[in-house]
Each structure stands twice: as structure tokens, then as C-alpha cells.
Chains A and B, each alone.
Chain A
């Protein structure tokens, strides 16, 4: 292994951060339920909130989910706002009804929302009370996915962090992989590490509550996602130790991530090379093919998924793109520093958002590709810009070697599509193809 992560030129680690406060065009943390409820197959997510919460979940998820969801919203009504004691009784009643209808449920998450927090409905107390009622069949946990506390992927962080105190104690030396990934990707990671002799390997969250990992001072863990700051702190509180590395996006990220774990488990270089050489080569080939149209193109990230920094690292270093601005809802330096270290200085690093000012910057520079939320994509396309929806990055398997080409493909597809469509070929009046609605 002769891969060097040392960078001599200036990097983004110490770049100044542009902080603006205005309208933030981001999802709240409730959105994480859309993938978490699929990942944890015996869990139910009960949002205690308003009709807006229910509407958000269905609007953000409705595009994708047609099966009976393992989530729902206990909608607060006028009466619940008046008397807090009543609200707890009401919640108990709804939980009883739910668990009666879904006897397969083993974990119930009471998920706090903006209204439940503003009226200070104590869901921690409710979770304790309900655990006593339903243990051992069902464990009841709580976390907040509210917009006043969390943005988008932070919901997953809050959820996983809420699980950590309830994990059994363990003195085993185990590797814990943290973050909810699609099975196909998780299996690849476990298989690669297994071939190096790293193990035992556990995952958080596990697909079923009975398989939840133990944690203790001999646990070492590696994050699969860059938005898990609270979970990291919770695991560290239990004595576990984090393996720091860039995130496993692209060939380079995956290699550095695996290498950091391999070093922790004293895997020799020859073994590491033997296990990784084939998939690394495949990944490079795939990236080369998929990134052809990305080379030399500029990219602008609006704040959304928190994947912006590691993805910029991948796009700049492996796909030859030029980053103009890397926006994030918030920056968790402790997690993304290894990635920032690898991005040459140049792009604006921004945290938080004033969406109108940010759109002004986009219109001024007109990037080749803008990564943004669903609310902004079509309006920007109508202005002649090319966009990529950030939410797709969270719903698509994009980690590790075998997905590296797909990851590049997610960014190249909008550009290829722009080149494919020739609306002016349809008629002799190119100036008339104004966007219809």
C-alpha cells in the first residue's frame, strides 16, 4: 500500500467558512424515517407532531414508497395542546392501538417534532413509561427529528444516538460499522473486511432489534456517513473508540477508509493489497467511464444531505471536477476533516444558508452542475442550469468500490441528458421553446 494521503498544498481544512442566516431550504430530520424504517425491519417510527409532519413524510416519501409504511404520525389536535396530561394519555392510547395492530413491532421510536418540542411534550418520559408497559416485547425509544433541532440526515444521527444507551455492554474487541446503508453495500464492506481477517464485525443499526450490537471499551467503530456526530459522541461515552478516515466514496475514499480499519486491526500490506486490488481496479475503470463528461466541469453544492464535503473530495480528485461552493447545513469538523484535508483550497465552504443570496451566487457563476433539493431543481433547470437532486444521493447505494461508478454516474447523468435532448430539432423556431407549465 503506497497510497499517500499527504497533501502538501493548502487544503480546505483551514479555509474560512461563509456563514449566512436567512431562509434555509432543507428538509427536517423527520425525513430520515423514510430510509430508517426500511432498514430496521421490526421498528416503527411514530412521529408525535402535526399534520405538516405527516404531509412532509408522505410528500418526501410518496414519490418512492407504495407499501404499507412502518411509520405514522400521531397528529396533535386542539385538545392535546391544552392539557399535557391528556396528551400523554392520548399517546398511550395510540401506541396501544398501534402495537395491537402491528404485533411484529419490536422497537418503537417516539419521534419528536417542532410542535411537540415547542409545547415541551416530554417524549423521553413517555418512552420510559411505555417501555415499562411493553418490555420485553417492545423497546420504546425517543429522539427528535424536529426542524428546529435537526436538518435532513441529522434525523438518522439523532435516531442512532438514541439507540446507543440501550445497547448491551460488551468487552469484546469488535468492529462496529455505524450508519444505515443498503444491504448490498453493507455486505460488500463486511466481505472486504472479512477477507482481510478483520472481525467480528457488527452494524448499527442492525436490521432487527435482536441483532443489535454490544458496545464497550474494546469496541472500535467506523462511520459510514458524515452526519453521525451525536452518535459518535454517544458511542465514545460508552468507551468505544472511533477510527478516523475519509468516507468510503469512490476508489480513493473506500481505500483510505478500509486502510484505516486495516491498520487498526494490524492487517499487513500484502493482505490489504490482495483483497482490494481487483475491486479497486474495477472501481477505477468504472469511474473513468462514468466521469468522462464530468472532467473540467464546475459543481456547486447547496446545503442538503451533509454528504457534500466527502462527495466534493470524490468529484474533484477522482472525476476531475472543479468545486465552486461546498454548502452544508452544518459542518462537523471532527468527522469531515480527513476529507477536507484532501480537497485543494479554492472552493467556498459555506455553512447554513440564506437561500436567496445563495441563488444569486449560483446565477452569477452559472455552474455546470448544481446539487440542490427537490424544491429548487426544476426552477433552476428552467433558468438553464443543470441540476442533481441531493436526495437521490441518500436513497441510492453509492458507498464502496462497486458503487463508485454509479456514484459518478449520478452526477454525469444530468449532463449527459442535457446533451442528449435537442428540443430545437423539433421545430424551426428555436426561440419559442419557452418552458411551458
Chain B
């Protein structure tokens, strides 16, 4: 038993729903109690889908439990097939139905349904949403994809994008563009907008572009093994990663690596002098492994940030993120406990958080700006405009998105110079945001115990610290305490503050 306030991932059957809802012509019959239909709103409200997810729930109740819940499942399954006439069905159980052990797969298999029925075994009490997406897509591919003759021209399958994904809709466009430059056309995109029939054609592709390892790695490995289709290991988020991706694809397909950089503005935007103030901004990264891995590289190599913390919530990728942490000289945080993440961020006192919807909450509470880089995300992260993360345009979008929450460069200088101005002061927050930044709660008042000991601030040092603008105060406090502790001091004076400042000067 584990106490959870907010969760990064839903249960695994929600992962299966994300695959089913991303596709067309597929229907999911879910053995689940009344109430589990809440999951529909994730798609219709958060993602603003204009149709119901293709899911029929048995919605059994207490009075059904002593009776024939298996009968209810069969009736529901037949009814769903008759009404929706899908090309294929997936069947499975939610957490409660798993306990009553009706075996939806067996029941549906014994029925006379004239289309492929794929049974899902998603252990609700061990696994989570991302396992559900990966396993569901793998099972669909395993049942539907066949070895077949390759297309005469070089074609690629884009695998991994699905419903409720962070910018999947636009990433597809962007990756298609990158491939098109090299003369590679598209065989199948899946699960996004694919039909079960499309999945049967996967085998004629020459290469699988594994866009999101979280959702399609099992399927990619399976296709490599059984269909002989190699898959890409580079996820093209960021300028460097996109260059690497192009080289990798060209290598696999035996084509000339080509790139049209005419729309890529990010490198100049990052190099132009206005961006100087971004130098060494301390950022904390948290999200799914793929987005954190790519964001870490962008943060360090393409924005000039200082990555002071990173981690992911999907344990399946823990090892690779721990390795990434070592590469950055920090210990990666692998947890799905929101409170642990909050604590780690509070201790690291970054100047910006790059995270998920949850970290947006944390940032709000701690008064730290936050940009979203990964699912889970909310309605505002499904923009009407084209806003990919991948490819050249993705790099542009990321630059804008990450800079937006920050106080602008010149403004930062003015705030430092005229911090006593009654109108133009740091508590007013970035001037291009309508509302004042929330007052930091918990950060400033509570001494940060970086080294474990309690550091006492003398009143004059505390006053001096307050003269440092809010966006730099957390860093200054932390550095000073670290410096003081290293010097064996128990108390911070004004001199300690400035000595620490000199020590850490860059």
C-alpha cells in the first residue's frame, strides 16, 4: 500500500485506451465497474477530442457481483461489435475486473466475432499507464503485422504517437518533413490515426522510426525480430539530436543525409546577445525518460543552462536515466511520488523547472517558473497552433517555450539595479505576464538544509539576501549555505554572503 496524492501515470488500462483512442476502426471492450468511464473525459476534455473514445465498458455494479458478470461482459462485447463494426477488438479488464477473474480474453475468444480479437493482460496492481500503452501496441502489432514484401521505394513507419501524447500530432508532421528531405516516404504511422488494417501493412516498411520509446519499444523490438525492420534509437528533439537522427536514418536506409535548415532559428536565438542572461540558469528536469533525456541535452548544449537536477517517473527507463544523471554529474531522481519530486526541487532551488503538469503545481507553490516538457499535461498543453517538439520547428518551439516563463534579460538587469522601486520590483514578477508571480512559499522562509545542518542567518545577512532579486535568491541562499558549511561556519554574515558570491562567480 502506498499513499499517493497526485499520480504521474494512470492505470495500465488507460494506456490501452490511449492506443485505442489514437487509432481508428479499433474498439476496446473493457470489463470495468461503473465509474471507470471517467477516463473518457481525459480525451474529450483535456485533448478536446470531438468523438467518444472507442471504448465500451461493462460498468457492472455491486448487485451484479454475485450473479453473472461474465455474462454481462459477453453481452457488452457482442453489443459493441454489432454497434460499432470495428476492424478489430481489444478486450481486457480494469483493476476491479481483474480481481473477479472473468477472463475477458477467453470469453471474447469463445464468441463468434468475425474480426481479430486481441486479449490484453495488463496487471493493474503492478504496472502503470506507460506499460499499458507499450504492451497494447505490441499485442496489436504481434497479432496483426505480417512479414511481407518491402515497398519498392524506401519507406518508414512512424511508431509511438498516440492519444493524449505531448505534441504527438505535430511531431508526426515534423518527422515526416525530415524524412521527406531525404526522399523517404511514409508507410504507416501508428497508433496515431492508424486502422487495424494499416497495422497489417507495417511489414512493408524499411525502417521503424521509434518516436516515443515509452509507447512503442516493445513493438519496435518485435518488428526487428520478426519482420526484420531496424528501428531508430535517436529521438529528434533538439538541434543536436535532430542532426544525429538524420545521420542515423540515412545510415540505416542507405540514403544521403540531407537537412533543410532554412526554418531553424533556435541556434541564432540562443547565440544572440539578448540570450546571454540564460547562461548558467539552474534548471531542474523531470518527466518521462525520453523527454528528460532530450531536454537535458538541449538545456546544457543548446541553451547554456546548468542542469542541477533530473529524473523520470517511469521506472522502466530508470537505468538509462541514472546513467544520464552520472553524465551530468548529478544523481538522477527516479520516483513516481510527487512529494519526493517537490522535496528534491525545493532542495535544489533551481531558477526554472522543466517538467510535467505536476511540476507546474510545484513551481507555483515554490514560486519557481516552470515550462512543460513531458506528459502528463493539461488542456493548455494541447494548443490549437502547430507546436511540435521534434525536428527544426520543434527546436524553435522549445526555445520560445522555455524562455517564456523567465524574466527577460534586460528586465533582470533593471530589477537588480532598481530593486527598491515601488512599482518595478521583483515581487511583481516578469513584466510580460499579466499576473504577479506567486510569492515564494516555503522556499525563502524555510532555511534550505543542503548539508543537513541548520545554518543560521544573521539579521543583516538576511536583509542583504532580500536585496537579491527573487529569481536569483534561491541560488544565492543555497550557494552561501553550501559555502558556509564547507568553511565549517554555523552562521551566515554579510561577509559570508559576499565571500560565497565571489567563490561561485562565473
Contacts A26-B34, A81-B99 given; does A74 touch B2 at CB 8 Å? yes
Interface size range on B against A:
35 or more
Query: Is the beta-carbon distance between A114 and B35 smaller than 8 angstroms?
Result: yes
Contacts of A117 in B (CB 8 A): 62
Q: Is A6 an interface residue (CB 8 A)?
A: no
Interface residues in chain B, defined as those with a beta carbon under 8 Å from any beta carbon in chain A = 1-7, 9-11, 13-14, 33-42, 44-53, 56-62, 64-65, 76, 79, 83, 94-96, 99-100, 123-126, 128, 169, 357, 361, 364-365, 378-379
Looking at A7-15, A145-153, A243-251, A312-320, the stretch in contact with chain B turns out to be A145-153
Contacts A28-B34, A52-B10 given; does A91 touch B99 at CB 8 Å? no
Cβ contacts A to B, 11 pairs, < 8 Å: A26-B34, A52-B13, A52-B94, A55-B10, A62-B6, A114-B95, A115-B99, A148-B64, A378-B49, A379-B52, A382-B51
CB distance from A48 to the nearest CB of B (A): 8
Contact with B along A58-88 (1 / 0, CB 8 A): 1110110010110111111110110000010
A77 (CB) vs chain B CBs: closest residue: B125
CB distance from A385 to the nearest CB of B (A): 12
Q: How distant is the Cα of A382 from the Cα of B48 in the complex, in angstroms?
A: 10
Question: B33, B44, B60, B378: which contacts A62 (Cβ < 8 A)?
Answer: B378
Contacts of B365 in A (CB 8 A): 68
Contacts of A382 in B (CB 8 A): 50-51
Contacts of B52 in A (CB 8 A): 375-376, 379
Contacts of A94 in B (CB 8 A): 1-3
Query: Is the beta-carbon distance between B40 and A54 smaller than 8 angstroms?
Result: no
Query: Is the beta-carbon distance between B51 and A73 smaller than 8 angstroms?
Result: no
Query: Is the beta-carbon distance between A52 and B95 smaller than 8 angstroms?
Result: yes
Contacts of B4 in A (CB 8 A): 51, 54, 72-75
Query: Is the beta-carbon distance between B5 and A375 smaller than 8 angstroms?
Result: no
Q: How distant is the Cα of A114 from the Cα of B126 in the complex, in angstroms?
A: 17
Question: A24, A52, A60, A73: which contacts B34 (Cβ < 8 A)?
Answer: A24
Contact with B along A130-151 (1 / 0, CB 8 A): 0000000000000000111101
Q: How distant is the Cα of A90 from the Cα of B1 in the complex, in angstroms?
A: 6
Q: How distant is the Cα of A148 from the Cα of B57 in the complex, in angstroms?
A: 13
Chain B: interface secondary structure?
mixed
Q: How distant is the Cα of A58 from the Cα of B41 in the complex, in angstroms?
A: 12
Query: Is the beta-carbon distance between B126 and A30 smaller than 8 angstroms?
Result: no
B50 (CB) vs chain A CBs: closest residue: A382
Contacts A55-B10, A74-B1 given; does A378 touch B36 at CB 8 Å? no
Q: How distant is the Cα of A377 from the Cα of B45 in the complex, in angstroms?
A: 8
Q: Is A97 an interface residue (CB 8 A)?
A: yes
Contacts A78-B126, A118-B65, A148-B61 given; does A59 touch B41 at CB 8 Å? yes
Query: Is the beta-carbon distance between B41 and A375 smaller than 8 angstroms?
Result: yes
B47 (CB) vs chain A CBs: closest residue: A437
Contacts of B5 in A (CB 8 A): 68-69, 71-72
Q: How distant is the Cα of A231 from the Cα of B66 in the complex, in angstroms?
A: 26
Q: How distant is the Cα of A97 from the Cα of B2 in the complex, in angstroms?
A: 11
Query: Is the beta-carbon distance between B34 and A373 smaller than 8 angstroms?
Result: no
Contacts of A148 in B (CB 8 A): 33-34, 60-62, 64-65, 96
Contacts of B60 in A (CB 8 A): 148
Question: B1, B2, B57, B64: which contacts A23 (Cβ < 8 A)?
Answer: B57
Query: Is the beta-carbon distance between A50 and B11 smaller than 8 angstroms?
Result: yes
Q: Is A184 an interface residue (CB 8 A)?
A: no
Question: B6, B11, B40, B126: which contacts A376 (Cβ < 8 A)?
Answer: B40
Query: Is the beta-carbon distance between B95 and A50 smaller than 8 angstroms?
Result: yes
Contacts of B361 in A (CB 8 A): 66
CB distance from A70 to the nearest CB of B (A): 10
B42 (CB) vs chain A CBs: closest residue: A59
Contacts A26-B34, A75-B4, A91-B1 given; does A59 touch B39 at CB 8 Å? yes
Q: Is A325 an interface residue (CB 8 A)?
A: no
Contacts A58-B7, A118-B96, A149-B62 given; does A50 touch B124 at CB 8 Å? yes
Contacts of B378 in A (CB 8 A): 62-63
Contacts of B59 in A (CB 8 A): 23-24, 147
CB distance from B129 to the nearest CB of A (A): 8
Q: Is A278 an interface residue (CB 8 A)?
A: no
Contacts of B96 in A (CB 8 A): 50, 52, 114-115, 118, 147-148
Query: Is the beta-carbon distance between B3 and A72 smaller than 8 angstroms?
Result: yes
Query: Is the beta-carbon distance between B364 and A66 smaller than 8 angstroms?
Result: yes
Q: How distant is the Cα of A50 from the Cα of B95 in the complex, in angstroms?
A: 7
Q: How distant is the Cα of A115 from the Cα of B95 in the complex, in angstroms?
A: 7
Question: B40, B45, B49: which contacts A437 (Cβ < 8 A)?
Answer: B49
Query: Is the beta-carbon distance between A146 and B33 smaller than 8 angstroms?
Result: yes
Query: Is the beta-carbon distance between A25 and B37 smaller than 8 angstroms?
Result: yes
Contact with B along A364-375 (1 / 0, CB 8 A): 000000000111
Q: Is A430 an interface residue (CB 8 A)?
A: no
CB distance from B340 to the nearest CB of A (A): 13
Contacts of B94 in A (CB 8 A): 52
Query: Is the beta-carbon distance between A374 and B100 smaller than 8 angstroms?
Result: no
CB under 8 Å from chain B, chain A span 131-188: 146-149, 151
Contacts of A51 in B (CB 8 A): 4, 7, 9-11, 95, 124, 128
CB distance from A363 to the nearest CB of B (A): 13
Q: Is A356 an interface residue (CB 8 A)?
A: yes
B48 (CB) vs chain A CBs: closest residue: A378
Contacts of A60 in B (CB 8 A): 38, 41
CB distance from B284 to the nearest CB of A (A): 19
Q: How distant is the Cα of A60 from the Cα of B35 in the complex, in angstroms?
A: 11
5 residue pairs, one from A and one from B, having the closest CB atoms: A147-B35, A28-B35, A375-B40, A382-B50, A90-B1
Question: B9, B58, B125: which contacts A76 (Cβ < 8 A)?
Answer: B125
CB distance from B18 to the nearest CB of A (A): 13
CB distance from B323 to the nearest CB of A (A): 28
B34 (CB) vs chain A CBs: closest residue: A147
CB distance from A77 to the nearest CB of B (A): 6
